[in-house]
Structure 1
Amino acid sequence: MEPQSITVKLDQLSVEQQECTIYRVNSHLRNVNDKAYEPEIISIGPYHRGKDNLKMLEEHKLHYLHILLQSKKKNVQDFISEIEREEPKARKCYAEPISLKATEFTEMMVLDGIFIIELVRKFSMPQLREKNDPIFHMDWIMTNLQRHLMLFENQIPFFILLKLFDLVEVQGQHNRLMYLFACFFYNIYPGKVRRDRWKPRPKSPDMIKHLLDLVHSDWYPSSHLLGLGDVHVRQRWRSINSATGLIEANVKFKRNKEFTTLFDVGFEKGTILLAPITIEDRTESFLRNLIAYEQYFQNTEYSFVTDYVIFLNCLIDSPRDVQKLSHFGIMENCLGDDEVVANMFNKLTDSITLPSNPFSYRRIFRSVKIHCRRKRNRWMAMLRRNYLNSPWAIISIIAAFIIVILTIIQTVFSIMQVVKN
């Protein structure tokens, strides 16, 4: 068979050109921590399909589909016919060529999509669960599934989920599906959302790329925090000191009680206000996959997850910084080891390309640096660093101060004695 001419290849390219939404994580990011991007119990979509270590839940997918077909009195062909029409569009969402035939690809979309929909329905509606369903009897399976459905490479197009949901429940109730996903993913966020104040960023279900994009969109921070008024200002910013260094420079830390999302950071009267963050087993993978998403879609207004991680990386240089943030009620370390958390944040920004968008916390960084440059605060930092850096040094200074006072008192008494005589 003769190789295709460049003319034929160009014609095919012009026909097939479409925005890709699902990529493989590049080697620069993957080499830092490969496990953060790899599924361990379930494969969604084509990238990890067929791997031996991911066969655990393949039969469970079939079981969920079987139960659904029985309860809804539908034929599987109803689902296949609907998705068959979307197969070319869905295939082009993947950045890499998919070797599956059209029938295989369609069946995979149906099987994976129905599993996801039934999973979130059963999560919110216990009456739909079977008595012996291991997913809802073993906490470790559920927590892992929440993480696995957030992996950048473990995605199917969101419009496939919308099409399938129209067949499962009343057609056009896409906001209900969004609500089910919000309930399912709520406890994977390392920083909780204040539901009484939080309003999800308005984004039509038709505009969502996949589940990771959905979570990223719903987690969008408050506009007042980011200073959207000067979005076109590309100011350079410089790093600030670690939490320990800032405390030495008379900067205080306080838990932000008025937060809406994790990204609500403020600086008032020499105090950095931070929303509480919980670090657990899934946190690194969750943040890494959101950062990977922002690396591939930097045309968004803000890479706010990347910016927040950069901010925390500035504050955390050592286990001592983690300890101090924990002391102020800002960080809850469920991993137990402060050094593990410090290493995690120090490596999270390795091999990433800094976004071209304005840095979200540039104003706060500028205010902190101005505060630290004041003479009084610089003097306090020098005093603490050179003379108050250990309990023994503090005891020595106190002892020296007492000796000086006693010496002065003794001198005064001696003078008074001389005067009397």
Structure 2
Amino acid sequence: FSYGQVGDTHDGSFEISQIWNAILHDLLLFENQFPFDILVKLFDMAKDSNQQSAPDNIVDIALSSLAKLVPYFGNFPPSKIPPNNVDHLLGLVHDSWCSSFAEIVSSPGNIYASQGSKWRVIKCATELQEVGIKFETATESSSLFDIKFKNGIMRIPPLQIDDDTEWFFRNMVAYEQYKRGTNAHYVTDYMTFIDCLLDSPKDVKILRDCGVIDNGLGDDRVVSNMFIKMTNHVNVCAARFCYSKVFNRVNEYCGHPWRTWMANLKHNYFNNPWSIISVIGAFVLLVLTVIQTIYSILHG
């Protein structure tokens, strides 16, 4: 289950690495899942009993091999999930990936909702920035899904986007959409959140400039279109949307009359350099007119 176990050779190492990566991709495809019990039996048959130092937990081996495909996976401690509780590889990676956020959600006093909170969607990053909201990178968070908003600052864990991003998220969302017996759809909710923020390439640039997004694809338009496509026809359970409280806080902040007025001013009059020059020119002309009027009155 690791590249070193597949083969150790200097000849054709690049080709072997490419083949191994393709195998790992196939193992996580939603349509390729098979019972984990079969994998356990194959592992037991192939394990060399003479290698005393070899790991004997197939769950840990699987996670360590697939970790590089998972965004913000980090260095996970040995898994507490027994092999007989694993349905398949995709479910194992999903549950392990979401476990840290599940602990945050279940902790007392957290800002995330489990059910029952009413909410409405938030504006895109550009419009949020116009009302004074700032975006920062939450590098200390233990989970990619741990997005917080407080005092006009939205803190989002960094997301590296590359050629594997769309493939990975699509399979995770598909798993959540079709899995029975769970109310938590953390990946789906996260994708909904990011999709709200990214309406255009300009939104991507805002998050890229503050370090939230690392765009390995190069083109910001490709990123915005990718998130729009990935959330099409995806069912979001409104009653169990885990970011409902965060959305409500953001909308409450944006709804302040003063911030709304400032946002309209920026959008209508300061959205390009020529508009700014025109406003400054009009202001200077007004000041000069007032000065001339006062001078005429005093010396009339």
TM-score above 0.5, yes or no: yes
8 Å CA contact retained: 2:113, 2:245: no
Structure 2 residue aligned with 1:180: 61
- What is the aligned partner in structure 2 of residue 277 from structure 1? 159
Task: Between 248-257 and 355-364, report the one with greater CA deviation.
Answer: 355-364
Aligned-partner Cα distance in 2 for 1:302–1:337: 33
Residue 143 (structure 1) aligned to one of 21, 46, 52: 21
Paired residue for 1:214? 92
| 1:262 maps to amino acid | L
Q: Deviations over 1:216-236 (max 9, x none)?
A: 011114246536668663333
What is the count of residue pairs matched by the alignment? 292
Corresponding residue number in structure 2 for 1:235: 117
Q: Are the counterparts in 2 of residues 136 and 142 from structure 1 also a CA contact under 8 Å?
A: no
CA pair 390-356 structure 1, distance change in 2 beyond 3 A: closer
Question: Larger radius of gyration, structure 1 or 2?
Answer: 1
% identical equivalent positions: 37
C-alpha distance in 1, partners of 2:181/2:55?
Answer: 26
Q: Give, in angstroms, the shift of residue 369 of structure 1.
A: 0.6
Please name the residue that 2:192 is paired with. Answer: 310
Local SS of the residue matching 1:272: strand
What is the deviation of 1:382?
Answer: 1.1
Q: TM-score, length-normalised on structure 2?
A: 0.85
Whether the aligned pair in 2 keeps the contact of 1:174 and 1:205 (CA below 8 Å) is no
Say if 2:59 and 2:82, in contact at 8 Å, map to a contact too: no
Conservation of the 8 A alpha-carbon contact between 1:200 and 1:219: no
1:226 maps onto 2:105 in alignment:
yes
Shift of 1:395: 2.3
Contact 2:135–2:210 (8 Å) recurs in 1: yes
TM-score, structure 1 as length reference: 0.62
Listed as ranges, the gaps of 5+ residues in structure 1 are 1-119
Task: Determine if the alignment matches structure 1 residue 268 to structure 2 residue 150.
Answer: yes
Determine helix, strand or coil for the equivalent of 1:253: strand
Amino acid at match of 2:136: K
1:364 aligned residue: 246
2:178 alignment partner, one of 268, 289, 296 = 296
| More deviation, 351-360/210-219 | 351-360
Structure 1 counterpart of 2:171, one-letter code: N
Mapped partners of 1:388, 1:200: distance in 2: 54
Aligned in 2, Cα 1:298/1:254: closer, same or farther, shift over 3 Å? farther
The superposition leaves residues 138-184 of structure 1 with CA deviations (integer Å, 9 ceiling, x where unpaired) of 5443433332221011122111112222233378x986322222222
Distance in 2 of aligned mates of 1:265 and 1:174: 35
Alpha-carbon distance between aligned partners in 2 of 1:133 and 1:231, rounded to the nearest angstrom: 53
User: CA 1:135–1:293 in 2, change beyond 3 Å: closer, same or farther?
Assistant: farther
Give how far 1:247 is off.
0.9
With over 3 angstroms needed to count, the CA separation of the structure-2 counterparts of 1:292 and 1:228, relative to structure 1, is farther
Deviation digits for residues 304-323 of structure 1, max 9, x if unmatched? 00000011111111111111
What corresponds to 1:189 in structure 2?
A: 70
SS in 2 for 1:264: coil
The answer on 1:287 being equivalent to 2:172 is: no
Matched, 1:336 2:214: no
Q: Given the alignment, which residue of 7, 26, 31 partners 1:153? A: 31
**Secondary structure, aligned partner of 1:386:** helix
Alpha-carbon distance in structure 1 between the residues aligned to 2:149 and 2:260: 18
- Tell me, in whole angstroms, the C-alpha distance in 1 between the residues paired with 2:271 and 2:185: 37
| Cα distance change of structure 1 residues 342 and 298 upon mapping to structure 2, 3 Å threshold | farther
* RMSD of Structure 2 on Structure 1 (CA): 2.9
> 1:254 offset after TM fit, Å?
0.9
Q: Which amino acid aligns with 1:209?
A: D
